[in-house]
Structure 1
């Protein structure tokens, strides 16, 4: 039996999306290979927004997201905003 998985790679103001069909059981690594996306700049993976690993098993209808590295430390950004005069 085959499963359908969406693989999404996003940047600010744009994204790429592909649907792949994989034989069961399928892992994140299988979906990445089938998607054809370049994952060298990928910082991790998430299934429906929950961080996961390359060996995690996928289910039919899952949305696999490729995560980008953070451009700024969120704690440092908040600190700078708090120090700005109002």
Structure 2
């Protein structure tokens, strides 16, 4: 519904998300106010963990399956009895 007009415009999806975040922030319309939800630093830490976990999982899913075996063999040579091929 919104993707076709967005594809034709000069706005990119990250820019739209950024502008929407500014609009909804406490400095914009004030609809989202994280300081009212509790400890801001704990909220920031947990959000950062979730974001990092999602991005690492996305990277891991793009790696070819053969790279897991090679990495395991290299690691086992350093930490264990080694890999026998």
TM-score band by shorter chain is: under 0.3
Higher relative contact order (CA 8 A, sep 6+): 1
| TM-score of the pair, normalised by structure 2 | 0.23
| TM-score of the pair, normalised by structure 1 | 0.23
